[in-house]
């Protein structure tokens, strides 16, 4: 597993992630959207990101799910500024 996906597991334990319907009730700093998410899920997450002006990345949904002990995630939100910046640094994308 890549380092950034292991980092997601740590963020989850620290309470810095939201997934499922909790994404829409949180204050995301960065959205991670699965490349293989259904068209409806992807559209809903992209519309939410555009409306709230939230940066997003497309990631592997299976790897995101495995990092959190699930089969698959269509999307998740990092809800902490420092955690979002650290994740972007691990991906080599400080400015998106």
In a domain, 47, yes or no: yes
Evaluate whether residue 51 is within a structural domain.
Answer: yes
Q: Provide CB contacts within 8 A for 67, sequence distance 6+.
A: 1, 5, 6, 8, 9, 12
- For residue 23, the SS3 value is helix
The CATH number of whichever domain residue 70 belongs to comes to 3.30.1330.30
Q: Is residue 96 part of a domain?
A: no
Of the two residues 26 and 3, the one the predictor is more confident about is 26
C-alpha to C-alpha distance for 85 and 54, rounded to whole angstroms: 13
- Quick one: what percent of the chain has pLDDT higher than 70? 96
Looking at the structure of the chain, the number of domains it has is 1
Query: Is residue 76 in some structural domain?
Result: yes
pTM value > 0.75: yes
Domain span at 87: 3-91
Q: What is the pLDDT of residues 36-70, one digit of tens each?
A: 999 999 999 999 999 999 999 999 999 999 989 99
DSSP states of 36-95 as a string?
Answer: TS-HHHHHHHHHHHHHHT--EEEE-HHHHHHHTTSS--SEEEE--HHHHHHHHHHHT-S-
Q: Residue 96: pLDDT above 70?
A: no
């Amino acid at each position: 597993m890549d380092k950034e996906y292991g980092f997601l597991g740590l963020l989850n334990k620290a309470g810095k992630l939201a997934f499922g319907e909790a994404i829409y009730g949180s204050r995301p700093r960065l959205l991670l959207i699965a490349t293989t998410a259904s068209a409806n899920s992807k559209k809903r997450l992209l519309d939410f990101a555009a409306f709230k002006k939230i940066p997003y990345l497309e990631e592997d949904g299976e790897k995101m799910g495995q990092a959190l002990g699930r089969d698959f995630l269509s999307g998740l939100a990092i809800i902490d500024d420092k955690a979002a910046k650290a994740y972007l640094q691990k991906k080599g994308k400080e400015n998106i």
